[in-house]
Structure 1
Amino acid sequence: ALPISYVSEIFRAGIQSIDKGQMEAGRSLGLTWGQTMRYIIMPQAFKAIIPPLGNEFIAMLKDSSLVSVIGFEELTRRGQLII
């Protein structure tokens, strides 16, 4: 699984990268905080969130395959030592 601390930091940075004026504009239109986040902030933030989140998924995929190879080699080596 992805380390949740990295993922939450990616989302936090993506949301904070949006100018505060966007939130103020949504609130001045009468939108609630949730509506402003859903319709104004998050669509813009996803443009900043998707690349680093993709990098995390790729790193996880690479790490998991590396661990499986190391684990397999370790098991086969143990088997050879027993025989």
Structure 2
Amino acid sequence: MTSLFDFDIVSSVSKKNLMKKIRSFQIYASVNNEHKTGQKWLLEKLEICARLRGKAVGTEYGEAFILNNYTPLDSHSVQLVTELLKLI
């Protein structure tokens, strides 16, 4: 888990995706050794942070991101993204 940071945006995250993230943390030993806190507290902290960030945007869970060098999409790019999303 990251330390405190100034994030630019919070994206809504489903409970299912949050649980996948928590399971991922349980699998990797490097994550366990990276943090000075116990594994149980780390997993609780993940959920607490996700709940707090979700509340900030009106959802149950959220994840924060930093946007570096963000450039808004031009109209052609928006059209391409729209077409791609139709395929999903």
Alignment TM-score > 0.5, same fold: no
Larger Rg over CA atoms: 1
Structure 2 length-normalised TM? 0.30
Give the TM-score of the pair, scaled to structure 1: 0.32
Whichever structure has more helix as a proportion of its residues is 1
